[in-house]
Amino acid sequence: MRVSTFASLAALLLSGATEGCAIAVSCRCMPGDSCWPTTNEWNTFNATVGGNLIATVPIGSPCHDPTYDEAACTALQNSWTSPMTHLYHPSSFMQNYFTNRSCDPFTDRATPCELGNYVSFAVAVQNKQHVVSTVKFAREHNIRLVVKHTGHDYFGRSTGAGGLSIFTQGLGGISFSTFKDKYYSGRSMTIGAGVIGYDILKAADENNAVVVTGESATVGLAGGYTQGGGHSALSTAFGLAADQTLSFEVVTAKGEIVTASRTKNEDLYWALSGGGGGNYGVVTSMTVRAHDNLKVGGASFILYPTLLPADQYKQAVETLFSYLPKFADQGVMIVFAIRSNYLAVRNFMIYNSTAERAEEILAPFVADLKTIGITLNPTYSTLSYYDHYATYMGPIPAGILPIGDTQVGGQLLPKTVLETNPKAYANTILEIVSAGGGVIFSVADYSPPDDKVSNSVLPQWRTAVSQVNVLATYDPKGTVEAMETALSTITNTYMPKLKAAVPDSYAYVNEADIQEANWQKTFYGSNYAKLQAIKLKYDCEGLFYTYKGVGSEKWATSTTGRLCATR
Ligand SMILES: Cc1cc2nc3c(=O)[nH]c(=O)nc-3n(C[C@H](O)[C@H](O)[C@H](O)COP(=O)(O)OP(=O)(O)OC[C@H]3O[C@@H](n4cnc5c(N)ncnc54)[C@H](O)[C@@H]3O)c2cc1C
């Protein structure tokens, strides 16, 4: 009932908004097509972007003839699963699966290095006029347009075969100020869209402020992270990243520079604040809330199942799950991971607090574990937010999470599920872990910071107590088939277990199963129809296609990666 109402509303809005707007092309042009720009046209375009056009040389090229370089190849192989390796490269990205191993550092050097799903060209834009020129060139020549900030996206949305990419890292600048409108009055930070999380952590600390950024310091702020919602170690204190937005500067599909805020182009502001990355325009700068740099109380601990009787460990996990809603209610944000050989609470954090308060909140849990025979000795600290981040989520910038060896699924876990039957959910997770999976929890109170916030964050965040990430790892040196097997495990084994535990299941658009069939409802929920109408208003021809982004059902990629309109 709920879904059919949603579908018919979407259809209604779509039919109204499409009037006078039809996708004029059948397919995007690819290299080798007669419609692909000539060398002269590329050269002329390059002059309009300050000579910053880069023809893609895939990152894996030193590992293949005729450009084989043994030392460079070995260095690349050794650092392949570090985010730092791909972060600064104009065309590389972190979700290995989407490379299709077309120029892989681990395949034989005689295997040709091909562009495959890498973009054909990137523009390392240095200012907003470069963005305008690139948007106009892509539109005029019917080329697939891509935006890359950090390349973190699990859905491969920062790449695309035959694409022209806007690589945003040259859009710098961080400043702190105050902002006032009728919805918010207080400290603010303005950044260029190319600024990355670790730079913001440092600049905020130097300006005696804190800002909501990801738990991984190499994630960006203005791109997919904030535009998709964005959870943070500061979420219990201040909400999601999308709740922090005050104003965006955006280049639209027409190549116009506009402001989107609560008072100008409000619909675009609403969509950019949670409605999915890269889908409505290119953000060139953004102003967000900044908060006082107060001390934080922290804790961490680890349980090793191999050192405990199975039943004791199971009870400990069930007990932890029963406490999660209470922790969030008391101002805590927690990141923890479960694998077959550990349960690690890496980050237990309370903003504007102390080690003593962290110990006080954990005390009943520690006492309960004692009654089942487990002595837990967490470490506690009182630190600045920056030092806490470096200690519990660092090292800054790289962090400890490898990339490019994992397929991911996800679910927003409703608080009521843990309040009513924490044991059942804990046992679902233990089943996934015993089947070889890993699970990461980002536990917080995800309610908005105040009742004036209005944005397109999936409403189910507000009643969730955790973002849950299930992981199926594969050998990054292995085959495409191994990646496919891991993906199948996510879709066909782990996700059905999670969905059975939470019948009406929703997911965070940035950390979800890429094969989710019912994605419009699962990622965007009741916001989908309104987002679709805004998409049509600002980008009716679908220049900003993103995989499983709003409106993307009108497009499909062929086996060669060519993007074609389907209707
Ligand atoms: C190791 C790791 C840790 C993570 N940790 C967290 C976390 O703590 N919290 C969390 O919420 N998420 C986290 N994520 C998920 C993260 O939010 C998404 O991967 C997100 O898409 C990253 O955004 P990005 O702009 O940095 O990445 P990119 O891959 O560069 O871009 C992602 C999307 O945003 C678009 N985009 C980028 N810049 C712009 C722009 N200026 N204008 C318009 N569109 C743009 C791109 O086109 C693409 O569609 C993590 C992911 C990984 C791999």
Give 190-222 pLDDT, tens digit per residue.
999 999 999 999 999 999 999 999 999 999 999
CA of 153 to the centre of ligand 1 (A): 5
Closest ligand 1 atom to 94 CA: 53
Residues 240 and 374 in one domain: no
> Does some domain include residue 69?
yes
* CATH number of the structural domain spanning residue 98: 3.30.43.10
Residues 146 and 201 in one domain: no
Which residue is closest in CA terms to ligand 1's atom 52? 152
* CATH number of the structural domain spanning residue 215: 3.30.465.10
How would residue 23 be classed by pLDDT, with cut points 50, 70 and 90? confident
Contact call for residues 276 and 227 (beta carbons, < 8 A): yes
Q: Which domain holds residue 452?
A: 296-525
- pLDDT exceeds 70 at position 3: no
Residues 191 and 109 in one domain: no
**Residue where one domain finishes, among candidates 277, 292, 307:** 292
Closest ligand 1 atom to 147 CA: 47
* CATH number of the structural domain spanning residue 466: 3.40.462.20
Domain count along the chain: 3
CA of 403 to the centre of ligand 1 (A): 13
> Does some domain include residue 326?
yes
Closest CA to 391 of 251, 233, 528: 233
Residues 382 and 455 in one domain: yes
pLDDT score recorded for residue 20: 57
Average pLDDT over residues 534-558: 96
> Does some domain include residue 486?
yes
What ipTM does the predicted assembly reach?
Answer: 0.99
> Does some domain include residue 160?
yes
Q: How far is CA 467 from CA 340, 347, 378, in A?
A: 20, 15, 23
Which residue is closest in CA terms to ligand 1's atom 11? 230
> Does some domain include residue 220?
yes
pLDDT digits (tens, 9 = 90+) for 258-279: 999 999 999 999 999 999 999 9
Residues 475 and 495 in one domain: yes
Which residue is closest in CA terms to ligand 1's atom 37? 223
Q: Could you tell which of 132, 147, 245, 285 is best to mutate to test the pocket of ligand 1, judged by most ligand atoms within 8 Å of the CB?
A: 147
Q: How far is CA 406 from CA 104, 282, 442, 476, 505, in A?
A: 16, 28, 18, 9, 22
Residues 343 and 443 in one domain: yes
Residues 306 and 160 in one domain: no
> Does some domain include residue 340?
yes
Whose structure tokens read 């400890």? 400
Residues 318 and 346 in one domain: yes
Pocket of ligand 1 (CB under 6 A): 94, 147-154, 157-158, 168, 193, 214-216, 219-220, 222-225, 228, 230-231, 277-278, 282-283, 401, 403, 510-511, 546
Closest CA to 367 of 356, 375, 355: 375
Q: Could you tell which of 93, 128, 149 is best to mutate to test the pocket of ligand 1, judged by most ligand atoms within 8 Å of the CB?
A: 149
Alpha carbon distance 445, 486 (integer Å): 31
Q: What are phi and psi of 106, to 5 degrees?
A: -105, -5
Residues 270 and 312 in one domain: no
CA of 140 to the centre of ligand 1 (A): 27
The pLDDT mean for the chain works out to 95
> Does some domain include residue 531?
no
- pLDDT exceeds 90 at position 469: yes
